[in-house]
């Protein structure tokens, strides 16, 4: 987030975002990087001592993404080298040559974890998840754009195909959270339903991946996901995107979570950059109105974690270990690029 803000020209004499990003980069490569086994630990304490030395695809993907953005902001080629090195490590240890896709949970030595336990803080052991595979695709997209590496390109094409086929298909009612390694559907309460935020996030990240791969953009697929979210998950009275639902039925969880609003902001911005649409314009204006009235903390502009459908805070946290400046800063910068500094979206 700091790298992107600097890259977009927001550093000044009061706020050195490149310095902030450099501090994060140094801590990451000094304390999270595993010098023996490769990859990056899931968690350290504040002093940098590992407290969970496992390797999770979700986390490794964000390391790659952050290294690429830091390279863009700083022009430090070592950051790009580290990103490519990590990709090759993941490919060697986590890629499933039999079924495709990637193993998501490993011990420090890359032994796959197949049984769920309380040290796993993201998704379910032994399964493929829409969440981790979406963000792995996102990381591969930016890595390919920065390196033009043939292996990364092939992996990106695979991740795009798997996500578009099994997790975020063109029939949004069939979206799923989890699949078995052979891609059969997982049933059970923790795998039921769909996430409107992830659906619209995938929609625009799919176009970004296709752009980097120089493929024809799947606008029909994009609009199917966006329109489904607007039809079943959007609050057309107050504005804002609800959290979860199922099939072609109204939302079952009407909370409004900060990252879900951010991804809807990004998706609507992309849609309106592509072509005018009065319904999307109305939804975007409603969303901005809801954010400004209910979700943004007035003294500093930071977004509350979660508010209810009517806007009253349910989780008024401004920051915690799952809430930083990734979703909202990126979405706001996309919006600013589109409307204040019009140019083709990246």
Q: Residue 345: its pLDDT value, please?
A: 47
Q: Which two tokens stand for residue 148?
A: 């033009």
pLDDT tens per residue, range 17-60 = 999 999 999 999 999 999 999 999 999 999 999 999 999 999 99
- pTM value is 0.96
Mean pLDDT of 128-134: 98
Q: Residue 240: its pLDDT value, please?
A: 98
Per-residue pLDDT at 346 exceeds 60: no
Give the chain as a 3 state SS string.
CHHHHHHCCCCCCCCCHHHHHHHHHHHHHHHHECCCCCCECCEECCCCCEEECCEEHHHHHHHHHHHHHHHHHHCCHHHHHHHHHHHHHHHHHHECCCCCCECCEECCCCCECCCCCCCCCCCCCCCEEHHHHHHHHHHHHHHHHHHCCHHHHHHHHHHHHHHHHHHCCCCHHHCCCEECCCCCECCCHHHCCEEHHHHHHHHHHHHHHHHHHCCCCCHHHHHHHHHHHHHHCECCCCCCECCEECCCCCCCECCEEHHHHHHHHHHHHHHHHHCCCHHHHHHHHHHHHHHHHHHECCCCCCECCEECCCCCEEECCCCECCECCHHHHHHHHHHHHHHCCCCCCC
Mean pLDDT of 195-211: 98
pLDDT tens per residue, range 248-262 = 999 999 999 999 999
Q: Residue 340: its pLDDT value, please?
A: 86
pLDDT tens per residue, range 232-283 = 999 999 999 999 999 999 999 999 999 999 999 999 999 999 999 999 999 9
Closest C-alpha among 79, 217, 67, 205 to residue 135: 205
Per-residue pLDDT at 188 exceeds 50: yes
Per-residue pLDDT at 198 exceeds 70: yes
Q: What is the mean pLDDT of the chain?
A: 96
Q: What angle do CA 152, 35, 63 make, to 5 degrees?
A: 40
Q: Count of residues for the chain?
A: 346
Q: How far apart are CA 109 and CA 132, in angstroms?
A: 20
Q: How confident is the model at residue 231 (pLDDT cuts 50, 70, 90)?
A: very high
Q: Contact 251/196 with Cβ under 8 angstroms?
A: yes
Mean pLDDT of 79-83: 98
Per-residue pLDDT at 344 exceeds 60: no
């Amino acid at each position: 987030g700091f790298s992107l803000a600097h890259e977009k020209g927001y550093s000044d004499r009061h706020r050195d975002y490149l310095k902030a990003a450099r501090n994060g980069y140094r801590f990451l490569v000094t304390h999270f990087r595993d010098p023996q086994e490769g990859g990056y630990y899931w968690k350290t304490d504040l002093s940098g001592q590992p407290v969970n030395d496992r390797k999770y695809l979700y986390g490794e993907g964000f390391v790659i993404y952050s290294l690429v953005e830091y390279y863009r902001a700083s022009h430090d080629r070592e950051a790009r080298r580290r990103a490519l090195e990590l990709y090759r490590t993941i490919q060697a240890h986590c890629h499933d040559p039999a079924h495709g896709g990637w193993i998501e949970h490993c011990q420090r030595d890359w032994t796959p974890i197949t049984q769920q336990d309380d040290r796993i803080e993201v998704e379910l052991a032994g399964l493929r998840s829409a969440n981790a595979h979406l963000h792995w695709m996102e990381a591969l997209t930016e890595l390919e754009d920065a390196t033009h590496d043939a292996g990364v390109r092939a992996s990106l094409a695979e991740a795009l195909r798997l996500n578009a086929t099994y997790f975020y298909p063109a029939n949004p009612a069939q979206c799923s959270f989890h699949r078995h390694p052979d891609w059969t559907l997982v049933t059970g309460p923790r795998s039921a339903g769909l996430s409107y935020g992830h659906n619209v996030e995938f929609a625009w990240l799919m176009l970004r991946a296709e752009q980097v791969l120089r493929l024809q953009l799947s606008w029909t697929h994009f609009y199917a996901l966006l329109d489904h979210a607007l039809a079943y998950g959007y609050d057309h009275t107050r504005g804002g995107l609800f959290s979860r639902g199922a099939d072609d039925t109204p939302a079952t969880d009407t909370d409004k979570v900060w990252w879900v609003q951010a991804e809807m902001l990004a998706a609507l911005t992309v849609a309106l950059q592509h072509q005018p649409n009065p319904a999307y314009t109305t939804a975007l204006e409603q969303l901005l109105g809801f954010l400004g009235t209910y979700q943004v903390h007035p003294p500093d502009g930071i977004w509350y974690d979660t508010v209810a459908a009517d806007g009253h805070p349910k989780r008024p946290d401004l920051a915690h270990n799952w809430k930083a400046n990734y979703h909202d800063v990126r979405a706001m910068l996309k919006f600013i690029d589109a409307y204040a500094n019009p140019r083709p979206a990246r």
